[in-house]
Amino acid sequence: MTNEQWEALLNVIKGEVDKTPPVGFIIDSPWLPGWAGMTVMDYFTSEQMWLDANLKAVRTFPQAMFLPGFWSEFGMCTEPSAFGSKCSWQTNELPFAHPVITGLEKVDSISRPDPSKDGLLPFVLNRLKHSQSQIEQEGHSIKFAVSRGPLNIASFLMGTTEFLMGVRANPDEVGRLLDMITDFIIDWLCLQMDTFPTIDGIFVLDDIVGFLGQTDFVKFAKASLKKIFTCRNVKVCFFHNDAPGLVCSPHLAEIGINLFNFSSDHGLAQMKKLAGDSVTLLGNIPPRDVLAAGTPADVKKAVETMLEGQQDRSRFIASCGGGMPPNVSTENIDAFIETVNKQP
């Protein structure tokens, strides 16, 4: 992010309202390689091609905030790799992390990784180190420490179905696993912050919280997320859950979250009422069915509908209800930005 974009983000989070809401999108490996004209494998294995794709995005759409900005990652393999997950790669598909826990009796055999040494995490940091000067020459800086959330990581280590069954059938074992993963995430985030002093935000992604009921969310997710988001005093605490978000939304402020990206299945007014006035909302036209599959006219109509129904535009960043999906065209993003900028 540029310093100007960062200050604009902080102003929105403080509750300041401009005539035109800012535009922001989460961008990473599902969208960037195809849009930039390279394979997924090239994007992950070439530091220069990764950098070129991100530079192309910020140069093509200077009016949009891209969050977290120059995201160094290896898809869903990033954090599970540190626990020993086998990672399978294809030329033009996203990689997959295989489970390492084949039974709940093996939960205690998994040890807490060292993010400075284990899995793909050192490669994540080195990619940013090698690219930092070019990122800064472009007028941007590294502002976020990023991690998948504890339930998300656990679901890859165990398998999603097995994890969710374990929440109800083996709560003690699952609780111990989540405690260990939570401590690992804090280690990982703090390492990123110590490596790049420009970081002043935490970004955590965890869609699995959307599959829990209220009781299970409070028992298995709330305390872990609060511990993560309060591990350092940073200005932006950003949470992404584009699975059902009604369970977690009333707890966001107490957890310490002040920026939330959520599913387009939930309306902005509904989410604002549940999340409260202290949480900035990032959303929320349908990412796949409109932003990716629609025409520029479809995008324009969806953005107009989203903004027309919004009485209170404080603490709001115009986006889609999730990360940027594959196959979103330049024309559709331009239509989104132009429509927001033309609104009264």
Q: Which domains does the chain have, with CATH numbers?
A: 3-342 (3.20.20.210)
Mean pLDDT of 161-168: 95
Extract the tokens encoding 46. 């070439």
Give the phi and the psi of residue 64 in degrees, each rounded to 5: -105, 140
**Position 334 pLDDT exceeds 90:** yes
Local confidence band at 344 (pLDDT 50, 70, 90 cut-offs): low
Per residue in 226-274, pLDDT tens?
999 999 999 999 999 999 999 999 999 999 999 999 999 999 999 999 9
Phi/psi-derived region of residue 238, left when phi > 0, alpha when psi is between -120 and 50, beta in every other case:
beta
Contacts of 32 (CB under 8 A, 6+ apart): 43, 53, 54, 57
Q: What tokens does 29 get?
A: 């490996």
Give the global pTM. 0.97
Task: Give the end-to-end CA distance of the chain in Å, rounded to a whole number.
Answer: 26
* Residue 157 DSSP code: H
Give dist(CA 318, CA 309) in Å, integer. Answer: 13
- Whether 135 shows a pLDDT value over 70: the answer reads yes
What is the predicted pLDDT for the residue at 106? 82
Mean pLDDT value of segment 87-101: 97
Q: What is the pLDDT of residues 203-218, one digit of tens each?
A: 999 999 999 999 999 9
Evaluate the omega torsion of the peptide bond into residue 325 and state whether it is cis, within 30 degrees of 0. no
